[in-house]
């Protein structure tokens, strides 16, 4: 039928390829409706991003003329001793927080996914509440709880005859404190995402596995985990991006100390940008962090897809 | 509908890569180095001296018990008109000055705005050059940073003729060596002294250091005895580092983190090494309070009598007064004395903080600005208004007057504590510079000093590391 119609169409009326402007004009109403987002994006995201990128090649104190210095800012930031320390700290946090975070979230999600679990909604709310609480408030409260002299944590340890721990003033315990705070606050959303993934797995697959004689562990290992892989990959990538950009927790809890033991890359960026007037350096460091996050995310994505 | 792809993924990536390569190529270009231009033209500008005296000068003698203060009251000051906008932190001493200034200049409207995050907003106004406040209260390090960049108003014609009337160390802080200009009026002498609890020392059987004493052996002995008898700490030094004791000792020794013009880092010279060695000496007494300054546990310790002494600046008076309400909490029990004398020390005091009143080149009322600055910090009226608030203006005629020296405060009981400050003002070292890198250096010291104090690294090696880090940071300000 279509070929008959095409054969009957006079050649002169055959459709001409339309120009870009013509296409835009044809869909002008649609573009009008989506334009607010793009205008807002252009003004508040794209323009500052480009401006910051240009600034990263300049020396500027926040006013007056900006002086072009090429790659000098990038070089200076990378060569700083504290950059290396911040990078190592950030990677250590990532290496510890991501696997443990996923394992814990999976554990609790599996528990919440138990059939006929009573009060599932209450548990979900309880786990999610820390996530929606301001990280600043949480940090302040944790700081008071973990205070060496007056904190409740050491008070409880004293009750059971254990020597007090210098939670925020020794390098290793300061890192542990931050890890605990991140888990306490961030686990809720990961549990919800994992739970969603678990509940999306069709029951029939488990029934088929049961018919084949699979044990609970075998069902988990051979059915649940493989089918949950895309969700785990998603949580891993998002979580990694979050940890690589970690700032609130070291800022409130330890101020990057003791002895820069908890200084992360983003915390260092804050120090350069707002505790000094080295805006060019800060812009350069921001893009260095961006490149690191991009590279790590792409590696994760590649490895994750390869396995699939 | 015909869908025509505007571009392919390959073309887009190629275009993005070309753009990135272009930018990188531009970035790799050699840095544009500005050759210094030699100016051989000498420009002479006639300086107009205006001194309007409509009436004959009146000399008023104020006879006080011990000292005669002669204040020359110059009537017929030129009347000015306009509006001044001031930005500073909340509850500010400048607000105390305003009523007196309004009598001097009734046609001037003074607006004191205490907005949140004012310092960040102030820097934003500098970026635009618009809505910049006429007067602003800035720390010495910021004044040096902005002054070196030519942002601040040149007030040399105001300050230079009267520079000898200010404590020298404070005048130095508002002078920009690179530009040979004064860019602020010396305003707040944040002198540091040894604050101690008389009751706790008495309990420990330790004689009060009213006239000050030596670090070794007097202070060290006091620290150990008071700690043994009362369990109270002798100074604040949190386990995660605290730069103040080092900075105070460095100033007392006549040293500095950088040279006055900020070009050379001197933190790790002999004086720097000696200062850190002395900090290690007091740290080794194990009588330090391990908590963060001004946080709740710190005030808990102050009120509970868990800190018997500390190296504190004069402006802490307001804070301590706010927290100690009863004698049990220390009200009336605090005393202030000179800092412990150091071997080869040049001074028994230092400065912690201490901002100055300044203006910017963007102000449209420079005459008004200078007139207010002069009133607030270079007259007895203005200085006493500042002094009544609790700050110490570095104006020597005021410091030498009984108006200042006879002040009392409930936290100090009957002690005439201002006499101590007046004496120490003369000793303050003028070599201690707080240049643009100071704030960063403060952080670097705090983060890197603890291995030295714990004996894990030698003092000289540790100071060399700190010095190198400060040099790295300082290079970014040139």
Which of B268, B267, B283 is CA-nearest to residue B437?
Answer: B267
Q: According to the model, what pLDDT value does residue B77 have?
A: 63
A109 — pLDDT class (breaks 50, 70, 90): very high
Residues of A in contact with B239 (CB under 8 A): 148, 166, 169-170, 258
Kind and range of the H or E run holding B336? strand B334-337
- B330's CB contacts (< 8 A; 6+ apart) are B197, B199, B302, B303, B305, B320, B324, B411
Residues of B in contact with A147 (CB under 8 A): 291, 297
In angstroms, the CA B272 to CA B270 distance is: 5
Q: According to the model, what pLDDT value does residue B29 have?
A: 66
Residue B56 has pLDDT above 80, yes or no: no
Residue B61 has pLDDT above 60, yes or no: no
Radius of gyration of chain A (CA): 27
Q: According to the model, what pLDDT value does residue A144 have?
A: 87
- Please give the mean pLDDT across all residues of chain A: 89
- Tens of pLDDT, residues A188-247: 999 999 999 999 999 899 999 989 998 989 989 999 999 999 999 999 999 999 999 999
Higher pLDDT, B477 or B198: B198
Residue B389 has pLDDT above 90, yes or no: no
Interface of B with A in 199-258 (CB under 8 A): 238-241
User: Domains in chain B, start-ordered, CATH in brackets?
Assistant: 73-190+353-419 (3.40.190.10), 192-350+437-477 (3.40.190.10)
In angstroms, the CA B240 to CA B109 distance is: 48
Q: Does B33 touch chain A (CB under 8 A)?
A: no
Q: Does A82 touch chain B (CB under 8 A)?
A: yes
Distances in Å between the Cα of B200 and the Cα atoms of B171, B234, B299, B305, B377 are 38, 11, 17, 8, 38
Is A61 in Cβ contact with B31 (below 8 Å)?
no
The arithmetic mean of pLDDT across residues A108-131, rounded, is 86
Domain ranges in chain A?
Answer: 73-307
Residue B185, both tokens: 């009026």
Q: According to the model, what pLDDT value does residue B63 have?
A: 40
ipTM above 0.85, yes or no: no
Is B439 in Cβ contact with A275 (below 8 Å)?
yes
Is A71 in Cβ contact with B28 (below 8 Å)?
yes
Residue B13 has pLDDT above 80, yes or no: no
Q: Which fold has domain A73-307?
A: MetI-like fold (1.10.3720)
In angstroms, the CA A254 to CA A148 distance is: 12
Residue B231 φ/ψ region, left for φ over 0, alpha for ψ in the -120 to 50 degree band, beta for the rest: left
In chain B, pLDDT over 90 holds for what percent of residues? 69
Higher pLDDT, A294 or B128: A294
Picking from A148, A259, A275, the nearest residue to B447 by CB comes out as A259
Residue A6 has pLDDT above 80, yes or no: no
Residue B40 has pLDDT above 50, yes or no: no
Is B239 in Cβ contact with A70 (below 8 Å)?
no
CA angle A301, A302, A304 (to 5 degrees): 65
Is A82 in Cβ contact with B297 (below 8 Å)?
no
- Residue B305: DSSP 8-state: T
Q: According to the model, what pLDDT value does residue B44 have?
A: 43
Q: According to the model, what pLDDT value does residue B57 have?
A: 42
The CB density around residue B390, as the number of other CB atoms within 10 Å, is 18
Question: Using CB atoms within 10 A of its CB, is residue B274 exposed (0-12), middle (13-18) or buried (19+)?
Answer: buried
Residues of B in contact with A62 (CB under 8 A): 123-124, 126-127
Residue B2 has pLDDT above 60, yes or no: no
Determine contact, residues B66/B90, Cβ cutoff 8 Å: no
Is A62 in Cβ contact with B127 (below 8 Å)?
yes
For B447, nearest residue in chain A (alpha carbons): A259
- Tens of pLDDT, residues A282-291: 999 999 999 9
The arithmetic mean of pLDDT across residues B44-67, rounded, is 42
The CB density around residue A50, as the number of other CB atoms within 10 Å, is 11
SS3 B440: helix
- End-to-end alpha carbon distance in chain B: 62
Is A71 in Cβ contact with B123 (below 8 Å)?
no
Which of B350, B358, B353, B289 is CA-nearest to residue B315?
Answer: B353
In angstroms, the CA B123 to CA A64 distance is: 11
Is B476 in Cβ contact with A259 (below 8 Å)?
no
Q: Does A20 touch chain B (CB under 8 A)?
A: yes
Residue A266, both tokens: 């983003």
Residues of A in contact with B470 (CB under 8 A): none
Q: According to the model, what pLDDT value does residue B4 have?
A: 54
Residue showing tokens 């006055």: B260
The arithmetic mean of pLDDT across residues B189-204, rounded, is 95
Q: According to the model, what pLDDT value does residue A303 have?
A: 87
In angstroms, the CA B418 to CA B422 distance is: 6
For A145, nearest residue in chain B (alpha carbons): B297
In chain B, pLDDT over 70 holds for what percent of residues? 88
């Amino acid at each position: 039928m279509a070929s008959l119609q095409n054969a009957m169409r006079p050649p002169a009326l055959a459709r001409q390829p339309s120009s870009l402007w013509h296409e835009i004009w044809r869909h002008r109403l649609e573009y009008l409706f989506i334009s607010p987002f793009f205008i807002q994006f252009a003004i508040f995201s794209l323009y500052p991003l480009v401006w910051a990128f240009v600034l990263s090649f300049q020396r500027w104190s926040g006013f007056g003329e900006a002086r072009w210095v090429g790659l000098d800012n990038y070089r200076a930031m990378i060569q700083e001793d504290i950059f290396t320390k911040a990078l190592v700290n950030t990677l250590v946090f990532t290496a510890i927080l991501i696997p443990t975070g996923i394992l814990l979230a999976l554990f609790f999600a599996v528990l919440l996914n138990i059939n006929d679990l009573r009060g599932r909604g209450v548990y979900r709310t309880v786990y999610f509440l820390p996530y929606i609480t301001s990280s600043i408030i949480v940090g302040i409260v944790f700081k008071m709880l973990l205070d060496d002299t007056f904190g409740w944590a050491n008070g409880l340890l004293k009750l059971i005859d254990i020597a007090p721990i210098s939670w925020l003033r020794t390098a290793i315990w300061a890192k542990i404190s931050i890890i605990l705070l991140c888990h306490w606050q961030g686990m809720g959303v990961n549990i919800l995402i994992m739970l969603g993934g678990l509940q999306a797995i069709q029951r029939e697959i488990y029934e088929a596995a049961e018919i084949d004689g699979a044990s609970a562990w075998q069902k988990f290992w051979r059915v649940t985990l493989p089918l949950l892989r895309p969700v785990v990959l998603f949580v891993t990538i998002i979580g990694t991006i979050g940890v690589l950009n970690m700032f609130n927790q070291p800022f409130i809890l330890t101020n990057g100390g003791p002895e820069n033991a908890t200084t992360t890359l983003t915390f260092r960026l804050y120090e350069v940008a707002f505790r000094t007037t080295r805006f060019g350096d800060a812009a350069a460091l921001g893009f260095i962090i961006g490149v690191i996050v991009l590279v790590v995310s792409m590696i994760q994505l590649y490895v994750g897809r390869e396995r699939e | 509908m015909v869908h025509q792809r505007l571009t392919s993924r390959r073309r887009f990536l190629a275009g993005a890569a070309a753009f990135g390569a272009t930018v990188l190529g531009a970035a790799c270009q050699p840095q544009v180095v500005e050759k210094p231009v030699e100016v051989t033209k000498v420009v002479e500008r006639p300086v107009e001296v205006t001194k309007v005296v409509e009436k004959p000068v009146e000399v008023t003698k104020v006879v006080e018990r011990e000292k005669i203060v002669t204040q020359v009251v110059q009537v017929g000051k030129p009347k000015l008109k306009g509006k001044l906008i001031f930005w500073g932190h909340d509850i500010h001493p400048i607000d105390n000055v305003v009523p007196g200034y309004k009598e001097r200049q009734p046609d001037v409207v003074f607006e004191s705005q205490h907005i949140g995050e004012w310092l960040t907003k102030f820097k934003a106004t500098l970026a635009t050059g618009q809505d910049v406040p006429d007067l602003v209260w800035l720390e010495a390090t910021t004044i040096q940073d902005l002054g070196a960049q030519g942002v601040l108003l040149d007030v040399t014609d105001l300050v230079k003729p009267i520079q000898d009337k200010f404590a020298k160390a404070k005048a130095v802080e508002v002078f920009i060596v690179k530009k040979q200009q004064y860019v602020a009026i010396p305003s707040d002498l944040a002198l540091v002294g040894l604050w101690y609890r008389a009751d706790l020392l008495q309990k420990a059987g330790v004689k009060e250091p009213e006239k000050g004493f030596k670090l070794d052996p007097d202070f060290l002995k006091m620290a150990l005895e008071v700690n043994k008898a009362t369990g109270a700490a002798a100074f604040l030094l949190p386990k995660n580092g605290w730069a103040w004791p080092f900075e105070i000792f460095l100033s007392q020794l006549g040293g500095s983190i950088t040279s006055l013009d900020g070009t050379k880092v001197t933190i790790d010279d002999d004086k720097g090494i000696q200062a850190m060695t002395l900090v290690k000496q007091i740290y080794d007494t194990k009588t330090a309070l391990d908590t963060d300054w001004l946080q709740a546990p710190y005030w808990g310790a102050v009120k509970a009598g868990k800190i018997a002494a500390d190296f504190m600046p004069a402006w802490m008076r307001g804070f301590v007064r706010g927290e100690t309400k009863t004698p049990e909490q220390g009200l009336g029990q605090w005393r202030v004395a000179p800092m412990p004398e150091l071997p080869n020390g040049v001074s028994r005091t230092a400065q912690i903080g201490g901002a100055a009143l300044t203006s910017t080149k963007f102000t449209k009322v420079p005459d008004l600005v200078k007139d207010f600055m002069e009133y607030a910090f270079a007259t007895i009226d203005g200085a006493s208004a500042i002094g009544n608030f609790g700050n110490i203006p570095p104006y020597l005629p005021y410091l030498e007057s009984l108006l200042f020296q006879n002040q009392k405060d409930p936290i100090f009981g009957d002690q005439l504590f201002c006499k101590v400050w007046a004496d120490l003002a003369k000793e303050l070292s003028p070599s201690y510079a707080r240049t643009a890198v100071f704030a960063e250096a403060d952080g670097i010291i705090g983060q890197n000093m603890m291995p030295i104090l714990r004996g894990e690294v030698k003092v000289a090696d540790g100071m060399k590391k700190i010095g190198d880090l400060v040099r790295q940071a300082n290079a970014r300000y040139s």
